[in-house]
Structures are given as structure tokens and as C-alpha cells.
Amino acid sequence: MTALAALIRRDIKIALRVGGGALIGVLFFLTVTVLMPFAIGPDMALLTRLGPAILWLGALLASLLTLDRLFTADHEDGSLDLIVMGRTPLELACAAKALAHWLAAGVPLIVATPVLGLLLNLDGTATSAVALTLLVGTPALTFTGMIGASLAVTLHRGGLLLAVLVLPLSIPVLIFGVAASQAAISGPLSFGTPFSILCALSLVSLVVGPFAAAASLRHGLD
């Protein structure tokens, strides 16, 4: 356990210090959300209706873009070799890295949601519904995106190709995340159904993600 705790602590420290990616993710989220009204128009009623979708898309893109470097940074400086050789199972190490990434880059997105909700004319219920769905949904995004991040090690590059590979996999999370938020705001569905499915998706990705990432890393080193 000390090994995993040490890994999580290290990754969070790096993310929060100068040059780390955590706050850039929030900044990106903010910028995307601010851009939307310029594309749609300052129609407050329309923004209210589209608000949850805009916030979810912004969070999806922000978490994907910051994931890009999850493994490549460690690969470039040789840390990944030592992590693969270590006595901690690689699956657990991957899960720990993803958890650290979520804590450093995912949680700030959720914290920023209420502020952005104001800009999109969402009321208290709507904002808290979106924040709650992001809270249970963003782990799924992180743990699915981690698979793409591990492929980036083999590819020697990430960026666009990574987004092309990972975005289709995150469609279910997007569907149920937005659906649950909408359900809480306007109905007609109950909030519980899509929300439970969203939780289930997160749990599935918590299992699948580390295994797929570890398999890809083990085979992808050279």
C-alpha cells in the first residue's frame, strides 16, 4: 500500500506544481464553456436547456486532453520502466495513476461546475445535478481515457489520434451523464435510473481500464 500511496502522492504533487497539467484542464473547461454562448447566441432559455450538455462536453474534452500525458511523461524520463519492473502489480499502479489524475484534474472540474453553471443560467438544482453526475461520471472518463493514454506510449505520440480512439468509447458515459442531469432538471424520467447506470459504467471502467492499460504498457515498451 505504501507503494501505491507514494505513487498517488507523487503524481498529485507533480500535477499541482509549476508545469503540471491540473489547472490547465480547468482553464480549458472554462474556455470551452465560455465559447459555447458565442456559437449558440446569448439566448438564456436556450443556454439553460443546453447547459448540462455543454458542461458535460467541456468536462469530457478537458479530462481527455489532460490524460494525454498520463503515461508518456513517465515513459520519456524512464520512470515507466521502473514502474513496470516494480513489485507492485502493474494493474494496481495504473489504477493508482488514474486515481491521482482524477483527484488532481477531475475534481477541480467538478468544483468549477457551479461557477460555470451561473454563466449558463442553470439554477441550483440543475447545477448540483450536473456536478453530481460529473462526480460519478468523470472517473469513468479517466479510467477509459487511461487506455488511450497507455496506447500513446506505443504510438510515441498522442494528441488527435488518441482522441479519435477514446472518444467513441466515452459515448455511453456522455449519454447517461447528460440524461441524468436533464432528468433532474425537467424530467420526465426519474433521476435514479440513468444515474445508477452512470455509476455502473464508472465501476465497469474501474475494472476494465487498469487491465487494458497494463496489458498495453507491458507489450508497448521497447
Partner 1 sequence: MTLIDLANPTKFLSLTARVLPWLAGATAILLLVGFYQAAMAPDDYQQGATVKIMFVHVPNAWLAMFVWGVMSLAALGTLVWRHPLADVAAKAAAPIGAAFTFLALVTGSLWGRPMWGTYWEWDARLTSVLILFLMYLGLMALWRAVDDPSRAARAAAVLTLVGAINLPIIKFSVDWWNTLHQPAAVLRMGGPSLDKAFLIPLLVMAVGFSLLFVTLHLAAMRNEILRRRVRSLQMMQASQQAA
Partner 2 sequence: MRLSGRQIDCIRGGRGVFSGLDFEASSGEVLAVVGPNGSGKTSLLRLIAGLLVPAGGSVVLEGGEAELTLPEQSHYLGHRDALKPALSVHENLSFWRDFLGGKVGDVSQCLTAVGLGHATHLPAAYLSAGQRRRLSVARLLVVRRPVWLLDEPTSALDTAGQDLFVGIMRDHLAGGGIIIAATHAPLGIGARELRMGGGK
Q: Is 219 in the site for partner 1 (CB under 8 A)?
A: yes
Q: Is 7 in the site for partner 2 (CB under 8 A)?
A: yes
- Which of 39, 45, 85, 160 binds partner 2 (CB under 8 A)? It is 85
The whole-angstrom separation of Cα 122 and Cα 17 is: 33
- Between residue 158 and residue 217, which ones bind partner 1 under the rule CB under 8 A? 161, 164-165, 168-169, 171-172, 175-176, 179, 189, 197, 201, 204, 208, 212, 215-216
Q: Indicate which of partner 1, partner 2, none lies near residue 168 (CB less than 5 to 8 Å, by partner kind).
A: partner 1
Residues 6+ apart with CB under 8 A from 209: 94, 95, 98, 142, 143, 144, 146, 147
Q: Indicate which of partner 1, partner 2, none lies near residue 39 (CB less than 5 to 8 Å, by partner kind).
A: none
One-letter amino acid at 210 equals P
The whole-angstrom separation of Cα 94 and Cα 88 is: 10
What is the smallest separation between the CB atom of 139 and partner 1, expressed in angstroms?
16
Site size for partner 2 (CB under 8 A): 27
Q: Is 13 in the site for partner 2 (CB under 8 A)?
A: yes
Q: Is 84 in the site for partner 2 (CB under 8 A)?
A: yes
Q: Is 147 in the site for partner 1 (CB under 8 A)?
A: yes
Question: Which string of DSSP letters, residue by residue, matches 97-153?
Answer: HHHHHIIIIIHHHHHHHHHHHHHTT--HHHHHHHHHHHHHHHHHHHHHHHHHHHHHH
- Comparing CA positions, the residue from 157, 175, 166, 161 lying closest to residue 213 is 166
- Which of 38, 87, 160, 187 binds partner 2 (CB under 8 A)? It is 87
Q: Is 150 in the site for partner 1 (CB under 8 A)?
A: yes
Q: Is 57 in the site for partner 1 (CB under 8 A)?
A: no
Residue number with CB closer to partner 2 (17 or 188): 17
The whole-angstrom separation of Cα 204 and Cα 74 is: 26
Q: Is 41 in the site for partner 2 (CB under 8 A)?
A: no
3-state helix/strand/coil string of 144-174: HHHHHHHHHHHHCCCHHHHHHHHHHHHHHHH
Q: Residue 222 gets which letter from DSSP?
A: -
The residues that touch partner 1, with contacts defined as CB under 8 A, are: 147, 150-151, 154-155, 157, 161, 164-165, 168-169, 171-172, 175-176, 179, 189, 197, 201, 204, 208, 212, 215-216, 219-220, 222
